[in-house]
Amino acid sequence: MHPIVARNRSDLTEARKGGTLALVPTMGALHEGHRSLIRLARERADEVVVSVFVNPLQFGPGEDFQRYPRTFDADLAACREEGVDVVFAPAADEMYLPDRQVSVSAGGMGRIVEGASRPGHFDGMLTVVLKLFNLVRPDLAVFGQKDAQQLSMIRRMVADLDVPVEIVGAPTVREPDGLALSSRNRYLSDAERRAALSLSRALRAGAGEPTPARVRASAAKALAEAPPELEVDYLALVDPATFLEVPDAYEGEAVLAVAARAGATRLIDNAVVRLGR
C-alpha cells in the first residue's frame, strides 16, 4: 500500500479515513527505531499518520539544522513497507506564519538537563508537537523513550493544556553493540562510533546499582574511561516526571540520562533505573 502524501491542511483532511488515528511525529531520516514506533502505532490504531518535518524552531545557533539528513524518498519507502496510511510532509511556511507571534513555553523543566545545553530547544519542540496535534487531530501519538525528557515534557504539556491525545512511549531501539539508534549516527566516523559506545556502557554500569550515589559513581567511572573522541556534556540521575536530580535517599523509578559529543555529533541516551527496595 502506498501512503497518501499530504503537504498541507486540506490534503490532511481529504486523506482521513475515519476510525482511531495514531500520529508518529518525526524529522525524517527514518531508521529501525522510527519503524518500531510506527509498528506500535499500527497495533493501536485503525489509521497511522507519520509526519516528516525538520522543525527549525528546535535548532539553536550553531546546531545542525542545515546539515540534518533529509531523505524523503527513503522515508516514504519505509512508511510504505510499514503500512502507513498518510505521510504529512509540510514545508516550513505551511507550519509557521511569517509573522508568527505565539509559541509554547516549556517552563522551568525546559531549562534543565538537556534544556540547559540547548536553550529554547524544548519551546520549539513543544510548539511543533502541539501544532501537529491540532492539524492531524490524532487519538494517540507515539514517541520514543530515547528522548526521555522530550517524552516527559510532551506528557506535561498534554496534562497542563488539556490536550485530548493519549501519549504512548516506546522502548529505545539499539544496535547489537548497544548504541542507541539515531538519525545522527550516520555522521560518526569509525573512531567516533566506537567512542559513542561509552554512553550505553555507562548506562549499563549505573543501572544495576541500588542507590543514587552508586548509580552516579558507576556511570561516571565508565564515562571517565571513554576514548578522547568523546566529550561528555552531562550525566544526570533524575525524577522521570520533573527531570530534577533525585536526592541520595530517593527510592523508586529514575532516569539516568547522558549526553556527549563524539567529534562534531551530539548524542543522547538514557536508561530507566529502579532504586531502593
32 is in an annotated binding site: yes
Using CA atoms, how far residue 206 sits from 151, 203, 211, 258, 271, in Å, is: 22, 5, 10, 11, 9
What distances in angstroms separate CA 241 from CA 150, 245, 270, 273, one per listed residue?
A: 11, 11, 14, 14
- Please report the sign of the dihedral spanned by the C-alpha atoms of residue 218, residue 220, residue 222, residue 225: negative
Q: Determine the Cα–Cα distance for residues 60 and 82; give it in Å rounded to an integer.
A: 32
Instruction: Check if the beta carbon of residue 48 is closer than 8 Å to that of residue 85.
Output: yes
C-alpha cell at 184: 545522527
Residue 58 annotated as part of some ligand binding site: yes
Residue 208 marked in a binding site? no
Q: Is 2 annotated as a binding residue?
A: no
User: Is residue 34 annotated as involved in ligand binding?
Assistant: yes
68 backbone dihedrals φ, ψ, rounded to 5°: -55, 135
Question: Annotated binding residue at 28?
Answer: yes
The answer to the question of whether 121 is labelled as a binding residue is: no
Catalytic residue, chosen from 6, 15, 25, 34, is: 34
Amino acid at the residue 53: F
d(CA 199, CA 232): 9
Q: Which of 18, 58, 51 is nearest to 142 (CA)?
A: 51
Amino acid type, 71:
T
CA distance 70 to 72: 6
Backbone torsions φ then ψ of 169, nearest 5 degrees: -95, 140
Total number of residues shown for the chain: 277
To the question of whether residue 150 is assigned a binding role by annotation, the answer is yes
All cell numbers assigned to 36: 518500531
Confirm whether residue 182 is marked as ligand binding: yes
Active site includes 34?
yes
Binding-site residues, please?
27-34, 58, 144-147, 150, 173, 181-184
Binding-site residues for (R)-pantoate, please?
58, 150
Binding-site residues for ATP, please?
27-34, 144-147, 173, 181-184
Active site residues: 34
Binding-site residues for beta-alanine, please?
58
